[in-house]
Structure 1
Amino acid sequence: MALSRRTLLVTSAAVGTAGALTTLPAAASAARPLRTDPFTLGVASGDPDADGFVLWTRLAVEPLAEDGMGGMPDRAVPVRWEVATDERFRHVVRRGTVLARPQTGHSVHVELDGLAPGREYFYRFHAERHSSPVGRTRTTPAPWMLGGTLTMAFASCSQYEHGYFTAYRRLAEEEPDLVLHLGDYQYEYTKDSYTIPGGNIRDHEGPETVTLANYRQRHAQYKSDADLQAAHAAAPWLVVWDDHEVDNNWADEVYERPDIPQPDFLARRKAAFQAYYENMPLRRTSVPRGIDMQLYRRIRWGRLANFHMLDTRQYRDDQACGDGYQDCPAALDPARSITGPEQERWLLDGFHRSDARWDILGQQVFFAQRDNNAGPATVTSMDSWDGYVASRDRITRGWLNAGVRNPVVLTGDVHAHWASELKLDYADPTSRTVGTELVCSSISTTGNGADSNPADHSFLKINPHLKFYNNQRGYVLTKIRADELAVDFKVLPYVTTPDAPVHTRASFVVEDRAPGLHQTYDRPLDPPAPAANRSRLDSATETSTQETVRP
């Protein structure tokens, strides 16, 4: 685990540990009992290692309560937890009790160790007479083991108002071993301030998220969704944020619209960080301290893969020349960084120390160059790595200098599927490919989208290293083996009504020691969706405002 340039605060009040049973105050057992189910937000696990993982739940009898406290009493509630090797809990291997406290939104984080490596486990919680759903999780292989196939899915961008979270349900049905969420887990906007043509499908509760109560309420609304709960219960997650967990396009201590004063932004950031920790299966190393939170970290899946989870928001220089597409000389400034110097050193050191078959960067924004201009000018998104060209170059040269065997970058943010080959010199299409980037579409953000012929997309014509594009909603499913990484771009034909089917739009393979993409499957174009499910963005094309600027 990495240590931040900022001081970490670890408190027993904020996290539950598995080392001993919590001593329960007499008042906890004497208080009025919970009359309704407090497990309305589901269960989750995360940050696995070879001998354990984090278990999470948060108690809320009224999830949408305006004060963010979920209708819970102003007291600590004892929560019992169990871990078993079977789904019926005939073979319980660990159990304990922890307090869900009002100071942390009645959230529970149980950090387990001492379990067997490379093993599937099941877990559940109990509070008074109520029991939670059962979750499935697993430990990673032992550090010296290559192991077998790792089934990993990754997703991003779930805007509750824009559609149903069916893609999460379909992801859960894949029964992955691991899920990566790459940001925009929830959106900060008040009802109807971020709309799709024809009107939003569902409504946000409460105002734009600014206070801790606001963020707790918004997280609870998202966590109340049954499809999202299913995805959390299916596998351990590795999470990182992007911008909407706090404020659109925020950069370190700079908020979205500096021209409109937001004097309480740092208080807002502190509240957002606190709520994010309370609602995610994160280890105690990520407990926030004020406006700071340690989120970048490294998870090792035996010798098969290292997952370097990056934070490209908290330490970045502010976007140059505005947030959208620009021909911006400042983007080339070698002093500019999207990771900050300490995280960059941590990442480069991780490359040098790696003995993994695959080194995978889980991060937020487009990594490859994506020029929007067919002429001599380079017009790129300042909110992506294109706005921090020297920073991207240092990272790319870093994995080359370290001899990283198979570098793969995973990305969210842009509400569409992409696949690209990474270069040191994007101006020379014939230059050597030095890595691969896979980009997942949104779960729901911007509504249905539409299928299209990737060869017709202007970005692919201008940028020959970009190999695939699709503008439907969905997720990416991978099978990671010693000799290859197989990729399926999963899409749903619609999200504006529930229970859509899922299919594979295209498949690719990245071979061991051969960076680049080999397409193995390309499904014919889908016919137009039925009228009831037709996209509310049928006439829209992807623009810079769609992915970086609040509509």
Structure 2
Amino acid sequence: MRPASHAPELRAAAQHIGRRRFLTVTGAAAALAFAVDLPGTAHAAALDSRKITEDPFTLGVASGDPQPGSVLLWTRLAPRPYEPDGGLPRGTFTVRWEIAHDSRFARIARRGSVTAHPEFHHSLHVEAGGLDNDRPYYYRFRTGTWISPVGRTRTAPARSARIGELKIAAVSCQAYHDGYFTAYRYLAEEELDAVFHLGDYLYEYAVNAVGGARNYTDRRLPAHFNRETVTLEDYRMRYGLYKSDPDLLAAHAAHPFVLTWDDHETENNYADETPENDVPPEEFLLRRAAAYRAYWENQPLRRPQQPKGPDMQLYRRLHFGRLAQFDILDTRQYRSDQAYGDGWKVPGPESEDPSRTLTGATQERWLLDGWKRSGSRWNVVPQQVTFAQRRDVPTAAYKLSMDAWDGYPASRQRVLAGAQTAGIENLMVLTGDVHVGYGFDLKKDWADPTSRTLGTEIVATSISSGKDGADKPANWDSFTQANPHMKFYNGRRGYVTVTYGERQARADFKTVSAVTTPGAPLTTAASFVTESGNPGLTPV
């Protein structure tokens, strides 16, 4: 990667530049003119929802970030989600929402109306409050003569509440072109309190007419998907493609999601303002602004997560009573550039520089300060890239991934030291990114298998990325020998559920046999527990 400029004027330009000013910009950046046009929402004409002639709820409904007495409800009006305008004229539409105690909506808990603005691609983010704590609810939207599918969600317990059990799922990496989202169909049937999505919700890569490995025989995708996403229009339409998948629709309708991104929602392996390829930094900041805006528009995120140009604070904290605190990280937006040009490299002075950071100083301080104030039994860190050390061979000539925490060992050590200083006994890191399932013990000294175990890491395999995979990837022997703190390694697709209790947490790694054909069966590949006060994974 080339070094990117951190000049304040570049970031300011990406935040505020509009169409007219972009006419003075030369080169390829001019093609991104509309990517960060952020007009107000007061000028679009109000249109009559009764004149919408096609179902506008093609992308279903979603909920997210459950809090005590509150949950975020999402939908987007898009009769034709594969088209740039979603099939709607440029204007505002009034949408009513309802949240009820029952699926038949006989007992309404709250209702209201909101306006869908074209500036936000007719997406809606309703912060529904005034609800009971720790309760399931059903919700839906209405506009004109159309009624959305019904979603089911759940509020969080009160911060001070003692709860006996919490069950979540962790998912990541859903490349549409690599296969079907079959795992989501099974996940929709689980009894869960929340789903944590750990990144790579979509991929920027081209999707051909037959859907890549899906190999459609009964349909053809529009040609505009067969190019890499760069502009705001590109990213918006790509979300239309992904979010119209029936299995993903079912999962969103069944459970509240808590989301964080990794790299592919914008561009592969970018680091802060540094792009993957040799493009001008101002051009990448504009692309990042487009990607971030489309991400917010299409996800059940609350108002504090709304982006400002190329910046978006995605790290945040959720509590589920006194049982669990979740510190959701963003390890992509603030990181130092990858050492040694990225990839798997021999570690050295560049990667081991103590000034290097994966989280940025502000987020790191926020994390450690939050642990000092935590009174939760389980402190869980949903984030993107592998935290534990991961040597590729069991010899002295090993390499490490420069894109993961191994490329930022000083940053990792500060986090582990902060957990120890705060007295965190039950630390669990939830990870995505690598398209395999891992279970790790987090060691005080990676070179000494007998050293103190400081926590555990559960790595969720991909939903589809990497295609079908295998129970034992080609490097299974070398990886397991090189990393004795690795307790589990599987290369199939699927997800992981984690059930937290007062005495222990249980992780169940669930995999499907294939994603290149739909409807593959689900299997529990392995299960582990970690005891409260005694970190480390034990097979069940």
TM-score, with length taken from structure 1: 0.87
SS in 1 for 2:392: coil
Once the two structures are TM-superposed, the CA of residue 457 in structure 1 deviates from its matched residue by: 2.5
Which stretch shows the higher mean deviation, 493-502 or 102-111? 493-502
Does residue 335 (structure 1) correspond to residue 335 (structure 2)? The answer is no
| Aligned residue-pair number | 496
**Unmatched 5+ residue regions in structure 2?**
1-10, 16-40
Of 106, 109, 128, the residue aligned with 1:90 is: 106
Partner of 2:539: 519
Q: Deviations over 1:456-501 (max 9, x none)?
A: 5311111100111001000001111111111110000011111111
Call closer, same or farther: CA 1:393–1:376 in 2, change over 3 Å: same
Does residue 443 (structure 1) correspond to residue 463 (structure 2)? The answer is yes
SS in 2 for 1:111: strand
**Unmatched 5+ residue regions in structure 1?**
1-5, 10-22, 521-551
TM-score, with length taken from structure 2: 0.88
Partner of 2:93: 77
Q: Conserved in 1, the CA contact under 8 Å of 2:50 and 2:144?
A: no
Q: Conserved in 1, the CA contact under 8 Å of 2:44 and 2:117?
A: no
Does residue 132 (structure 1) correspond to residue 148 (structure 2)? The answer is yes
- 1 CA distance for matches of 2:422 and 2:247? 41
Does residue 395 (structure 1) correspond to residue 415 (structure 2)? The answer is yes
Of 151, 161, 166, the residue aligned with 1:145 is: 161
Paired residues for 1:338-417 under 5 Å: 338-417=358-437
- 2 CA distance for matches of 1:48 and 1:332? 38
- 2 CA distance for matches of 1:488 and 1:135? 25
Paired residues for 1:195-206 under 5 Å: 201=215, 205-206=225-226
Q: Deviations over 1:272-327 (max 9, x none)?
A: 00000000110100110011001000000110100100000000001000221101
Partner of 1:291: 310
Paired residues for 1:90-489 under 5 Å: 90-191=106-207, 201=215, 205-258=225-278, 264-329=283-348, 330-452=350-472, 457-489=477-509
- 2 CA distance for matches of 1:464 and 1:26? 60
Call closer, same or farther: CA 1:126–1:318 in 2, change over 3 Å: same
Q: Deviations over 1:336-359 (max 9, x none)?
A: 000000000000001100000100
The 4+ residue runs of structure 1 with deviation greater than 6 A are: 23-26
Q: Conserved in 1, the CA contact under 8 Å of 2:380 and 2:429?
A: yes
- Kindly report the root-mean-square deviation, in angstroms, between the aligned alpha carbons of the 2 structures: 2.3
Q: Percent identity among equivalent residues?
A: 53
Partner of 1:504: 524
Q: Conserved in 2, the CA contact under 8 Å of 1:119 and 1:139?
A: yes
- 1 CA distance for matches of 2:97 and 2:226? 32
Q: Conserved in 2, the CA contact under 8 Å of 1:367 and 1:386?
A: yes
Q: Conserved in 2, the CA contact under 8 Å of 1:175 and 1:234?
A: no
SS in 1 for 2:250: helix
- 2 CA distance for matches of 1:399 and 1:328? 25
Does residue 51 (structure 1) correspond to residue 69 (structure 2)? The answer is yes
Once the two structures are TM-superposed, the CA of residue 257 in structure 1 deviates from its matched residue by: 1.9
SS in 2 for 1:496: coil
Q: Partner letter of residue 65 of structure 2?
A: D
Q: Partner letter of residue 489 of structure 2?
A: Y
- 1 CA distance for matches of 2:474 and 2:135? 40
SS in 2 for 1:114: coil
- 1 CA distance for matches of 2:105 and 2:302? 25
Call closer, same or farther: CA 1:242–1:455 in 2, change over 3 Å: closer
Partner of 1:493: 513
Q: Conserved in 2, the CA contact under 8 Å of 1:45 and 1:236?
A: yes
